[in-house]
Chain A
């Protein structure tokens, strides 16, 4: 890897860069941009949910012919929730989170000059960029974007007669996602190969920081499950465009019988959730990895139960591939299968509990440094527990029956994977910003950002459980058609107010982020007094990461406050003293 002597042009440095640090920044900025769109959409449909017949000039301004006098149409409402889900799950929390931090940290923390293949890494980003562009463009077509829910269950997603978004909008959704999957597979393969082959001298697998373990296992889950979504999407494209009947059968719509015969939507559900459930962990595990690193550093304590943490990551990853049926308890699947999936699903609670308790124990008798990243990490543990526990209701086939597809589910998964993962992402940004941009983010704005977000997140999602328990289904354009739900209207107003607060709080983050890139305080080499290798590289980025030899590693990443040392951190590059217990 001698190419750090190459002459760089603007194009090769900032646009078609093969440097993992630049690619990581590209992922982050693209992810943030998509995040702005996704969150803004949620603001619009929350207005609709809280005040269904009220006219809003902001809706009039942004929704064009999809609204009438400031009131959105039911079709665009469904489109907004669909694209909100798609963008947040895939473009923000998969590419934006995993893409950013896997790229930044894998080479830096394992001691490598770059990814195994810089070229493929660049291809991966640009495919992601292309898929983002297609997804965003689909918002502007006449009939509106895809609107069959982010799970795009056929026949609704297959038949433009059933909903206008299932025409060109759905086609663009499928094309965008197919490209996205290619991007994420290329990325994941690169991460796996890099972690396995390019670790520096002494960096045994059992000395890797937990961030790397999380990214590594996440990449494996992605490689195992994303191709299945791709095949599901391809078969759907066949059904839509070439008249096959993989998912469709016996359909009578708008006065005519369609030719489809013998297919089953349940097949699609199986294929979709074979990715769909592992996807939850593709989103969550990197956030948990980031949290492990940040909690340990800022507690000035070793992460408690390092090996148990690795074991639980692996256990979660394995189990995540055999639980997809818990999304289908009432799909018409054989009830015996439901029993099996209940069993495997509730097993996941064990490694999850281990992780939660280990985080809490790491805090115990620590010396907590309350940096913004630490606040978000503690917040993550809180929402991970709150959201995870309601999984005991939803994972239990019998209990799922009456809360399935209600707002209870919406509250559950937003807390456990939405808010938790986004907290992990924010924590990562605050923590590694100095590594990415050579400057520090503003601390005070970080505190305001966290506390407003934390209050808003619980303010939104805690009351939301009750609406679900009242029986209100999700994806309802309005609950005005049922007097039964008149009494949830007030709760919805409370939720929307907290949602607007939460959305507004993100403006603080955006300002802090973009201004700090240019005007932030200059970073020192190791601002958080951390043990890991990325802080041994110079503040100014250089291609190849280390100016001289790559340092050798002599210990694990978590020797914080180790007895026998004056400082409360011992870098991984420090050799063991005579007779020192290597932990």
Chain B
């Protein structure tokens, strides 16, 4: 009903506008010298607004960005990111300046004739070759980081963890003492065996299922991702890590945590960010927030996609090993 009222209101406004439109026919429709002048000046002002908005955003919003990377691979990510950003902002600043400045400077004047300048082989070569060289550098640098990040070889005795996604929660399974995950398939899902682990596989018995992900600092972790229903994406932004979870296949990603949760809480950038958050929470009367690493879903997966998360705790390796030892294995959890 109200929708009809909204539509009626819109129609009434449209009719009202219609009534005052006889001016349309009187107005000159083509830009005059005066228009050129005004609009050229507005372009200059807009240019200032544009740079102002950029600077304001960097000043105001820097604090909300993610803190320093919490993994060794993430550190090389951050350096590559910085280099790329500097390049982008450099090019952005120059080209936008030229654009707005020319729009202002060459605003039309009656009787002036534009310069007939149709082509310049030299200029074209410059702005083909210079970007080509710069991009080659970016590509080579980017690919070296990519190859390093995507290295899931088990040369360094990595910890093997399965991360398992379903609407709308995460589970995980450590490979246990043999550091080899038992086979699994959704067809084995039954009762407490929620990840469909194949209990006839001898590698499966010592696997450790958990609902909270803990990782050891300084040891490479290889993640094996599975999904039981639709696509999900395991996104661990603090570690600069992301991989889709695809039903019917196992995907992988690896990183080496470099800061424990405790250390990250003492990081300057984290402190600044958490302070900002807690100021907002205090205004709303909510409990203060304490920093934790998170695994969140980053591929649209249904109604509660926005609330599909799991806490990650990074600990010193000894502490982690002690914790893992206390957890029940699959053999203990699943009573055959």
Could you list which residues of chain A lie within 8 angstroms of chain B, going by C-beta atoms?
57-58, 60-62, 73-75, 78, 148-149, 153-156, 159, 162-163, 248-253, 257, 261-266, 299-308, 330-332, 335, 338-339, 342-343, 346-347, 349-350, 353-354, 356-361, 363-371, 374-375, 378, 381-382, 385-386, 389-390, 392-393, 396-399, 401-402, 404-406, 440-444, 447, 451, 454-455, 458-459, 462-463, 465-467, 469-471, 473, 475-479, 481-484, 486-491, 511, 515-516, 519-521, 523, 527-528, 558, 560-563, 568, 583
Which residues of chain A are near B87, meaning CB under 8 Å? Answer: 392
Instruction: Assess the B135–A350 pair: CB atoms within 8 A.
Output: yes
Distance between Cα atoms of A476 and B235 in the complex (Å)? 14
Distance between Cα atoms of A367 and B33 in the complex (Å)? 10
Instruction: Assess the B106–A367 pair: CB atoms within 8 A.
Output: yes
Distance between Cα atoms of A481 and B108 in the complex (Å)? 54
B170 touches A (CB below 8 Å): no
B331 touches A (CB below 8 Å): no
B196 touches A (CB below 8 Å): yes
Distance between Cα atoms of A568 and B112 in the complex (Å)? 10
The smallest beta-carbon distance between A210 and chain B, in angstroms, is 13
Instruction: Assess the A404–B242 pair: CB atoms within 8 A.
Output: yes
Q: Which of B36, B135, B296 contacts A349 (CB 8 A)?
A: B135
Instruction: Assess the B2–A61 pair: CB atoms within 8 A.
Output: yes
Q: Which of B42, B50, B113, B147 contacts A561 (CB 8 A)?
A: B113
B332 touches A (CB below 8 Å): no
With CB as the reference atom, state the residue of chain A lying closest to B40: A370
Q: Which of B17, B81, B109, B149 contacts A515 (CB 8 A)?
A: B17
Instruction: Assess the A491–B61 pair: CB atoms within 8 A.
Output: yes
Instruction: Assess the B247–A265 pair: CB atoms within 8 A.
Output: yes
Instruction: Assess the B131–A350 pair: CB atoms within 8 A.
Output: yes
Q: Among the interface residues A249, A332, A458, A478, which one has the most CB atoms of the partner chain B within 10 A?
A: A332
Q: Which of A74, A162, A397, A487 contacts B230 (CB 8 A)?
A: A162
The smallest beta-carbon distance between B318 and chain A, in angstroms, is 28
Instruction: Assess the A335–B42 pair: CB atoms within 8 A.
Output: no
Which residues of chain B are near A375, meaning CB under 8 Å? Answer: 39
Q: Which of B40, B96, B135, B251 contacts A346 (CB 8 A)?
A: B135
Instruction: Assess the A478–B306 pair: CB atoms within 8 A.
Output: yes
Q: A381-B99, A399-B77 are in contact. Are A156 and B246 (CB under 8 A)?
A: no
Instruction: Assess the B249–A342 pair: CB atoms within 8 A.
Output: no
Which residues of chain A are near B80, meaning CB under 8 Å? Answer: 396, 398-399
Which residues of chain B are near A365, meaning CB under 8 Å? Answer: 106, 114-115, 117
By Cβ-Cβ distance, the 6 closest A-B pairs, closest first, are A249-B248, A440-B29, A332-B251, A370-B39, A471-B237, A61-B2
Q: A339-B143, A473-B297 are in contact. Are A331 and B242 (CB under 8 A)?
A: no
With CB as the reference atom, state the residue of chain B lying closest to A58: B6
B72 touches A (CB below 8 Å): no
Instruction: Assess the A363–B102 pair: CB atoms within 8 A.
Output: yes
Which residues of chain B are near A349, meaning CB under 8 Å? Answer: 131, 135
Instruction: Assess the B277–A74 pair: CB atoms within 8 A.
Output: no
Distance between Cα atoms of A444 and B42 in the complex (Å)? 14
Q: A368-B103, A370-B108, A478-B306 are in contact. Are A250 and B124 (CB under 8 A)?
A: no
With CB as the reference atom, state the residue of chain B lying closest to A510: B14
Distance between Cα atoms of A444 and B28 in the complex (Å)? 9
Q: Which of B246, B291, B304 contacts A265 (CB 8 A)?
A: B246
The smallest beta-carbon distance between B86 and chain A, in angstroms, is 11
Residues 133-157 of B, flagged 1 when their CB comes within 8 A of A and 0 if not, give 0010011001101110110000000
Enumerate 21 A-B pairs (CB-CB under 8 Å) in ascending A order.
A162-B229, A250-B187, A252-B196, A299-B114, A302-B118, A308-B119, A335-B146, A342-B143, A356-B95, A364-B102, A368-B36, A370-B38, A370-B108, A405-B299, A443-B27, A466-B61, A466-B65, A486-B280, A521-B27, A558-B118, A561-B113
Distance between Cα atoms of A75 and B61 in the complex (Å)? 30
Instruction: Assess the A335–B302 pair: CB atoms within 8 A.
Output: no
Q: Which of A250, A390, A442 contacts B29 (CB 8 A)?
A: A442
Which residues of chain B are near A393, meaning CB under 8 Å? Answer: 81, 84-85, 88
Q: Which of B30, B103, B116, B237 contacts A302 (CB 8 A)?
A: B116
Instruction: Assess the B106–A62 pair: CB atoms within 8 A.
Output: no
Instruction: Assess the B115–A148 pair: CB atoms within 8 A.
Output: no
With CB as the reference atom, state the residue of chain A lying closest to B296: A473
Residue tally, chain B, CB below 8 Å to A: 128
Distance between Cα atoms of A331 and B299 in the complex (Å)? 10
B128 touches A (CB below 8 Å): yes
Which residues of chain A are near B294, meaning CB under 8 Å? Answer: 482, 484
Instruction: Assess the A484–B277 pair: CB atoms within 8 A.
Output: yes
Instruction: Assess the B167–A305 pair: CB atoms within 8 A.
Output: no
Total of A-B residue pairs, C-beta within 8 Å: 403
Instruction: Assess the B77–A402 pair: CB atoms within 8 A.
Output: yes
The smallest beta-carbon distance between A73 and chain B, in angstroms, is 8
Distance between Cα atoms of A393 and B77 in the complex (Å)? 11
Distance between Cα atoms of A174 and B328 in the complex (Å)? 47
Instruction: Assess the B147–A339 pair: CB atoms within 8 A.
Output: yes
Residues 291-335 of B at the A interface (beta carbon under 8 Å)? 291, 294, 296-307, 309
Which residues of chain A are near B281, meaning CB under 8 Å? Answer: 483, 486
Instruction: Assess the A443–B28 pair: CB atoms within 8 A.
Output: yes
The smallest beta-carbon distance between B94 and chain A, in angstroms, is 10
Which residues of chain B are near A366, meaning CB under 8 Å? Answer: 102, 106, 114-115
The smallest beta-carbon distance between A238 and chain B, in angstroms, is 17
Q: Which of B35, B92, B273, B300 contacts A78 (CB 8 A)?
A: B300
Distance between Cα atoms of A392 and B86 in the complex (Å)? 11
Further contacts, 14 of them, CB under 8 A, given A367-B109, A397-B142: A57-B2, A153-B299, A153-B300, A155-B230, A249-B249, A251-B228, A252-B186, A265-B248, A266-B249, A300-B113, A302-B117, A375-B39, A401-B242, A583-B118
**Which of B18-26, B211-219, B258-266 binds A?**
B18-26
Which residues of chain B are near A481, meaning CB under 8 Å? Answer: 306-307, 309
Q: Which of B108, B119, B233, B246 contacts A367 (CB 8 A)?
A: B108
Instruction: Assess the B124–A561 pair: CB atoms within 8 A.
Output: no
Which residues of chain B are near A476, meaning CB under 8 Å? Answer: 305-306
Distance between Cα atoms of A155 and B166 in the complex (Å)? 12
The smallest beta-carbon distance between B17 and chain A, in angstroms, is 5
The smallest beta-carbon distance between A244 and chain B, in angstroms, is 14
Q: A332-B249, A398-B77 are in contact. Are A251 and B29 (CB under 8 A)?
A: no
Instruction: Assess the A306–B119 pair: CB atoms within 8 A.
Output: yes
Which residues of chain A are near B233, meaning CB under 8 Å? Answer: 330, 404-405
Q: A74-B303, A360-B95 are in contact. Are A159 and B277 (CB under 8 A)?
A: no
B256 touches A (CB below 8 Å): no
The smallest beta-carbon distance between A217 and chain B, in angstroms, is 19
Which residues of chain A are near B57, meaning CB under 8 Å? Answer: 462-463, 465-466
Distance between Cα atoms of A155 and B232 in the complex (Å)? 10
Instruction: Assess the B108–A390 pair: CB atoms within 8 A.
Output: no
Distance between Cα atoms of A135 and B148 in the complex (Å)? 45
Distance between Cα atoms of A183 and B247 in the complex (Å)? 34
Instruction: Assess the B244–A332 pair: CB atoms within 8 A.
Output: yes
Distance between Cα atoms of A353 and B81 in the complex (Å)? 21
B189 touches A (CB below 8 Å): yes
Q: Which of B26, B238, B247, B302 contacts A248 (CB 8 A)?
A: B247
Which residues of chain B are near A162, meaning CB under 8 Å? Answer: 167, 229-230, 301-302
With CB as the reference atom, state the residue of chain B lying closest to A361: B123
Residues 218-277 of B at the A interface (beta carbon under 8 Å)? 225, 228-231, 233, 235, 237-238, 240-244, 246-249, 251, 273, 276-277
